[in-house]
Amino acid sequence: MATRKQRLKKLVTVQEQLKELHEMRRAGFLAEAASAESEAAELRERFDAADSLSALFPELYHRRIDQALIRAASSLNLASEEASRVATATARTKMVERAYREVSRQDERSRADRERLELIARGKPKPDIR
């Protein structure tokens, strides 16, 4: 059977992994948003270029620009949600770490008390009954 200290140590590890997962997802969403914004800017530049086909297909350019901006906004929204999950995971991780440190200190105190009691028991001579 695992001790409370061991379980808390495993829980700290899991919480840290969960926090890292949310951080990676947030970074991915931010990268997707930047990519979509870059695509929209590139399409705007092509739309304004002299040799562009935008005069023939203006609705196509506008639709693609709008879709890129919608994707960017959606990705930023998802990144914001992940940021709140990162904050929650960070708070949970800190809470579990505090509990783990407290249990570790308590274990250390108990072990030190047992060692002192053993030393006292070994150092006391047995009473001589005559």
Look at residue 67 in the predicted model and tell me its pLDDT: 96
Q: Residue 24 pLDDT > 90, yes or no?
A: yes
Structure tokens, 44: 């705007």
Look at residue 77 in the predicted model and tell me its pLDDT: 97
Residue 127 falls inside a structural domain: no
Residue 98 falls inside a structural domain: yes
Average pLDDT estimate for 31-35: 97
Structure tokens, 58: 């203006």
Rounded to a whole number of angstroms, the CA Rg of the chain reads: 31
Q: Is the dihedral of CA 47, 48, 52, 53 positive or negative?
A: positive
Provide the number of structural domains found in the chain: 1
Look at residue 124 in the predicted model and tell me its pLDDT: 67
Mean pLDDT, rounded, of the chain: 90
Residue 105 falls inside a structural domain: yes
Q: Residue 11 pLDDT > 90, yes or no?
A: yes
- Name the pLDDT band for 41 (thresholds 50, 70, 90): very high
Residue 128 falls inside a structural domain: no
Q: Which residues of 99-116 are buried (b: 16+ CB within 10 A; e: fewer)?
A: ebeebeeeeeeeeeeeee
Residue 8 falls inside a structural domain: yes
- Name the pLDDT band for 35 (thresholds 50, 70, 90): very high
Residue type present at position 10: K
- What is the residue range of 84's domain? 4-122
Residue type present at position 99: A
Enumerate the H helices of the chain as residue ranges: 4-48, 58-123
Residue 96 falls inside a structural domain: yes
pLDDT tens profile 80-121? 999 999 999 999 999 999 999 999 999 999 999 999 888 888
Residue 106 falls inside a structural domain: yes
Residue 129 falls inside a structural domain: no
Cα separation, 19 vs 25, whole angstroms: 10
Q: Residue 125 pLDDT > 90, yes or no?
A: no
Query: Pick from 34, 38, 12: which is nearest to 26 by CA?
Result: 34
